[in-house]
Amino acid sequence: MPLVSMRQLLDEAAKGGYGVGAFNVNDMEQIQAIMMAAKETKSPVIVQASRGARQFAEDLYLFRLIEAAAELNPEIPIAMHQDHGNSFETCKSAIELGFTSVMMDGSLKSDGKTPSTFEENVEVTRKVVDFAHERGVTVEGEIGVLGGVEDGHGAGGSGLDHITDPDQAVEFAERTGVDALAIAIGTSHGAYKFTKKPDGSVLKMDILIAIHKRLPKTHLVMHGSSSVPKDLQDIVNKYGGKLKETWGVPVEEIQLGIRNGVRKINVDTDNRLAITGAIRKVLWETPEKFDPRDYLKPAREAMKAVVALRMTQFGQAGHAGDYKPVSIEEIAKGYKDGSLSTRPLVASK
């Protein structure tokens, strides 16, 4: 199957009332792990690459690997997404490479660290929407700022520092026309999200629900959605790792989100933990080994198990064969004639 528009994939998820995991990739083994899980659970899937991933893998290697994944798994709808694009240029280069979806994270300035103003965010996101939609490519925006820092990206601080204001979310959706909207509800990137199991004082599901009521056509995105399970932390620590005690986003909270308009759920950290735990275990138990395949194969298996579990928990499992891909050119026509508009004034009519 050719790569599909993320918009089509999320529209289908909305119809079916399920969420779709968006898993970060940097290398072949991670792409294979996702495809193995998608095949096993018959799931449509979003594969995403950060700027750091594109630099690490080099654009062409990365994109050819995704093309291989699509060719080898013709029954699986795959959307290829730019995670946390920091500028118009980053998004444009992803689109030119063949990505079917981009995130313009205008919540931060292009340094990827400093929170931007609302007007700056609207301006850069709208510019990306105009460019992307003309080419049938999906756009995710972000309003509010997540906590934490990953690979130099992020404002740092707590997830509670810049929670999304629902009024601003509505104005942002109206003025930009984004297909999907990432909101800040207290989560952060990385392993250290919460110091105990989160409740409503630190994880603001009520804000998410309020935003969905006002933006029923805009697909909501939960970033920083790794659950950081204790068993994965324990494996890392058992074999020489030094993770401090921490909590992630409980799967039942994500499922509550899915019942309230969340269609895309970003997961990276859980896979990082699974991979690192598996590699540590092999090297710890059999220090005489030095063939990378001896630890990369268990690492790939460990990531596959996490991804397959999340696909089942998010509800995307079993939905790979529900629909035929609509070409990117057809999607572009839908944006042009207004039938794919998500703007709240249009949506509420």
Catalytic pick among 11, 27, 59, 83: 83
Q: Are strands 219-222 and 138-143 parallel, antiparallel or unpaired?
A: unpaired
Query: What is d(CA 60, CA 35) in angstroms, rounded to the nearest whole number?
Result: 19
Q: Provide, rounded to whole angstroms, the least separation between the CB of residue 190 and ligand 13P.
A: 5
Interaction mask 13-42, ligand 13P, x per CB under 6 A? -----------x------------------
Interaction mask 258-297, ligand 13P, x per CB under 6 A? --------xxxx----------------------------
Q: Identify which of residues 140 and 150 has a Cβ nearer to ligand G3H in the complex.
A: 150
Q: Identify which of residues 13 and 331 has a Cβ nearer to ligand 13P in the complex.
A: 13
206 given a catalytic annotation? no
Query: What is d(CA 11, CA 28) in angstroms, rounded to the nearest whole number?
Result: 28
Q: Which residues contact 69 (CB under 8 A, 6 or more apart)?
A: 31, 32, 34, 35, 47, 78
User: Among ligand G3H, Zn ion, ligand 13P, none, what does residue 140 contact (CB within 5–8 Å per kind)?
Assistant: none
Query: What is d(CA 342, CA 300) in angstroms, rounded to the nearest whole number?
Result: 38
Question: Which residue type is seen at 51?
Answer: R
Q: What angle do CA 204, 209, 215 make, to 5 degrees?
A: 130
Q: Provide, rounded to whole angstroms, the least separation between the CB of residue 275 and ligand 13P.
A: 12
Query: What is d(CA 136, CA 332) in angstroms, rounded to the nearest whole number?
Result: 4
Q: Indicate the SS3 state at residue 293.
A: helix
User: Among Zn ion, ligand G3H, ligand 13P, none, what does residue 53 contact (CB within 5–8 Å per kind)?
Assistant: ligand G3H
Which of these, 118, 91, 135, lies nearest to 175 by C-alpha position? 118
Q: Identify which of residues 148 and 315 has a Cβ nearer to ligand 13P in the complex.
A: 148
Is 59 near ligand G3H (CB under 6 A)?
no
Q: Identify which of residues 51 and 343 has a Cβ nearer to ligand 13P in the complex.
A: 51
Query: What is d(CA 192, CA 248) in angstroms, rounded to the nearest whole number?
Result: 7
Q: Identify which of residues 179 and 268 has a Cβ nearer to ligand G3H in the complex.
A: 268
Token duo for residue 67 = 């093309």
Which residue carries 């989160």 as its tokens? 198
Q: Which residues bind ligand 13P (CB under 6 A)?
A: 24, 83-84, 189-190, 223-226, 266-269
Q: Which residues bind ligand G3H (CB under 6 A)?
A: 24, 50, 52-53, 83-84, 150-151, 153, 189, 268
- Catalytic residue set: 83
